[in-house]
Amino acid sequence: MKRIKTLALSLLFIGGVSIANAQQIKDGETVNVDGIAVTYSIVNKEKLTIKDQNVDRYKVLASVKNNTGKSFNIRLASSLDLSAISSSKIVELDCINATGARLTSKKVQIAMKSHLINVTYPTKDKDGKAITAVLPITAGYYFDQGQVIENDAIFIVPAGEAPKVSVRSLLKN
């Protein structure tokens, strides 16, 4: 029983720490998150009725700019290195009052750009003739100094409310 209480308190503390690291961000505002300039803006707003409930549908755009003075690079150790995909995330914007209705977002993550290389390999066409083909392969991820990366999302919130958005860093230094 004592272990369960300790585990519960630990989980609450860890959850509190991740919430404490989040900052509020408003439409058109830019905040600095560990040297990354994060900008959030509302692109479009619509009023909808979903299941006899009035809601507001917002299309939002989030962008990040690397102002840290350094570049971030992740090299893949193998083609099955799936941990690098989660490590490539830069920031996460969480819409606290989003409903998630109609399979819309509650969060939007911005990740590093993929570093693609083209691999040429011999193969055969449908007639059996030897040819070479090109296959793009992800070799890693990068986020260079001064680079801007954007991502968009759709948030549905209760009618009359603006999205309440918080942002937190996902970069592992």
The answer to whether position 129 is within a domain reads: no
What is this structure's pTM? 0.78
What does the pLDDT read at residue 37? 97
Tokens of 80: 């099955």
Q: What CATH number corresponds to the domain at position 153?
A: 2.60.40
Residue 16 domain-assigned?
Answer: no
What's the pLDDT score for residue 165?
Answer: 97
The DSSP code for 147 is -
What pLDDT does 12 receive? 45
Distance CA 29, CA 42 (A): 10
The token pair that represents 128 in the structure block: 């059996």
Give 90-148 pLDDT, tens digit per residue: 999 999 999 988 889 999 999 999 999 999 999 999 999 999 999 999 889 999 999 99
Structural domain includes residue 135: no
Query: What is the separation, in whole angstroms, between the first and last Cα of the chain?
Result: 37
Give the range of the structural domain holding residue 41, as residue numbers without chain letter.
23-113+140-169
Q: 131 in a domain, yes or no?
A: no
Question: Which of the pair, 81 or 14, is modelled with greater confidence?
Answer: 81
Q: Name the band, by pLDDT with cuts 50, 70 and 90, for residue 20.
A: low
* Domain assignment of residue 85, yes or no: yes
Given this model, what pLDDT does residue 173 score? 61
Within its chain, how far is the Cα of 9 from the centroid? Answer: 28
Burial 49-83 (b: 16+ CB within 10 A, else e): eeeeeebbbbebebbbbbebeeebebebeeeeeee
- Residue 105 CA to residue 102 CA, distance in Å, equals 9
Report yes or no on 86 lying in a domain.
yes
Encode pLDDT of 55-67 as tens digits: 999 999 999 999 9
pLDDT of 29 higher than 60 = yes
Stretch among 48-52, 117-121, 126-130, 159-163 having the lowest mean pLDDT: 48-52
Query: Would 91 be classed as within a structural domain?
Result: yes
pLDDT at 171: 87
Distance CA 29, CA 142 (A): 25
pLDDT confidence bin for 14, thresholds 50/70/90 = very low
| Integer angstrom CA distances of residue 97 from 24, 50, 104 | 13, 16, 12
Alpha-carbon gap, residue 173 to 163, rounded angstroms? 30
For the chain, how many structural domains are there in total? Answer: 1
Whether residue 15 lies inside any domain: the answer is no
